[in-house]
Amino acid sequence: MVRLSGLQRDVISLYRQCLRAVKQKPTDTQPHFRDFAKSEFHKHRDVGKKDFGTIEYLLRRGRNQLELWSEPGIRDIHR
């Protein structure tokens, strides 16, 4: 089994938190949130493993976005 770095674990943890947060949204809009989360992670998958500054920035940005759309008042997301 491959050993993951701390940042890799943080990225995987954030992704799982996003997918869990989707379950708190209305059933009819869950696919919108799931697709948005997947596309955001997919968009940045080519960031180098040693590009720590960029990874940390994206983690902070992702956590902020997750905090925003985890609020109960946010019922749908549009691109």
Span 47-66, pLDDT tens digits:
998 999 999 999 999 999 99
pLDDT for 12-27, tens place per residue?
999 999 999 999 999 9
**Can you list the pairs that 56-60 forms with residues at least 24 positions away whose Cβ atoms lie under 8 Å?**
56/7, 59/7, 59/10, 59/11, 59/14
Where do the structural domains in the chain lie, given as residue ranges? 6-41+55-69
According to DSSP, residue 51 is labeled -
